[in-house]
Structure 1
Amino acid sequence: MALIPTTILTGFLGAGKTTLLNRILQEPHGFRIAVIENEFGPENIDNEILVQDSSEQIIEMNNGCICCTVRGDLIVGLTALAARRDAGELQFDRLVIETTGLANPGPVAQTFFIDDAVASQYVLDAVITVVDAKHAMGQLDEHEEAQRQIGFADRILISKSDLVTEDAMQQLTARIRRINPRAAIGNSAFGLTPIADILDIRGFNLNDKLDIDPAFLSQEEDHNHDHDCDDHAGHDHHHPGHTDDIKAFVFKSLRAFDTARLDDFLGGIVQVYGPRMLRYKGVLVMDGADRKVLFQGVHQIMGSDVGARWGETEKRESKLVFIGKNLPEEIFIHGLEQCLV
């Protein structure tokens, strides 16, 4: 049976996750969606979405969606849900996990890689983060969780944009891009977001493209960073006072990597800095290889795959992005440079 594509829906308290989830469940998209609500409060999902029934964990909705509330271990919940699907008790082809507003989505994402039973049934499609335009700047200043939620995201949806000025939106968007340059940014006014921007976007899957904002990459010089300007490291010269712990940086090089040296270096930094490395992803040029090597990771969990052949006229260039908390950029850059042939 095909793997179940899974979307992690996150965002800080009040950002509009439940509004967006309600929209997903009501949309006539033809998908049969299961929902795991990872909430610690007494209410699992707003009454407008679920008809609460304390005697059942699984609730089938009128539009064919199935909602599962799991208060115990996530792995147990995921495997039990898959078992009921395999037994024919439930019918669903997508899973959405809505995290609590104070959650760090990292451990949720890791679940899909560290547990064989989960990995044999599910594939993580994307982490979607909803950001409250009205309150996000203050939340990012005060709460590391808000920074982490943006740092882990494959796609960011800004809600309540109608409540702020255009200048405030530009400042927020610029700050988000400094924290996470690879995530696409869209709008989620009242949850009105196209389903194609939420489901089956393959944001977490390895692919031939490194989804980094072109404007962000244009600030870089091959694999040498411009250390006279630290904008790409999260220091905002235009709007002082917003220096975030979660930051991103990019490594680029036209020279190929030596496989053994790169494996040793990446293995070492993951051991040392893994807990602080939220997301990292890259397309690599390897010495003697005519195909791209694709790699990505979450914290200490890292994997790679062989991609398509380099085109005859295609520019062979390695591109890597690292998003994490207080990562020593110079150590990473210098180490990667030592792995080049």
Structure 2
Amino acid sequence: MTEHYTQLTSAEIASIWTSYMNDSMSKCVLGYFLKTVEDEEIKAVVQYTYDLSATHIEKLTTIFQEEQIPTPTGFTYDNDVNLNASCLFTDPFMLTYLNHMAKLGLFGYSGFVSMSARDDIRAFYREGLTETSELFERSSKVLLSKGLFIRAPYIAYPTKTDYIDSKRYLSGLSPFSKQRPLNAVEISHLFMNIQTNIIGSKLAQSFAQISPREDIQKWMLRGGDISKKHIQIFTNILVKNDIQAPASSDIAITDSTTPPFSDKLTMFHMSFMSAAGTGNYATAAAASQRSDLLLNYERLSLEIAQFAKDGADIMISNEWLEQPPGTLDKDKLTNKKELNN
């Protein structure tokens, strides 16, 4: 019986292209981590993550070749990483970074699974989801064992179930009425977005201090300032509700100015983080029931979007922004046909 060939859908092409770009970036970052990490327990987690990225790249390359689709350029050791650069990140930062990237990976892979129809693509992303879950487990265990795991705020256990009995529950903007206390769902998203911005601010600071270009330094520092501003806004909301916002002083970078990564890679990385942040804010806005929280997430998302747009402009002007696969431009085809005639 002849096996039926099924072409990849646009969603599947988008998934494997995005995965290749992210994994090629991760392999460069993790290869550098392996050269500079000192703690053996943390090194084991870095090695596990590096091996995942390397394996993913091999599998994705095979898919591209079998489908006769050009393999993305992505990022390479030859062009985008200096493995001999001095240490830029502390071990606790590396571990926290891996834990955070595992969270982003869980969101990403679950979406890729749900968008895929072909058996082999679904199998690849189901396996990726399992591997990323294991990465989160391993990194969390080491964070906990070293006292570095930052827990979400505690609240008193509820004593009964209840129903919302007033539309005032949804309000939060009126200066004439007292805001209701935050609920657990809203607290969890505020906490998560504080943690995300802490990582983002440190990355922006590190990338600014290693870039030789003034325009990139300014853009990175601006990104760090935006993250710090958002951290303060979310922290103030928690504090007003008598909830202490957790933070870690161990998430740090060194004073090294030797670039371990190309500007192309650091710009892509910050753009990736910006996209993830916008997605987090959209999820938080949808889950939050107080109108002031919704308004905050919407206006802060616009600020991130403008920052990301300015970053994309820098990347385009330097020919660093790789174009995703797309549909054929019919106008160009028509013009080409007319010229040939």
Q: TM-score, normalised by structure 2?
A: 0.24
**Structure with larger RCO (C-alpha < 8 A, sep 6+):** 2
More strand by share: 1
Which of these two proteins has the greater Rg computed from alpha carbons? 2
Q: TM-score, normalised by structure 1?
A: 0.24
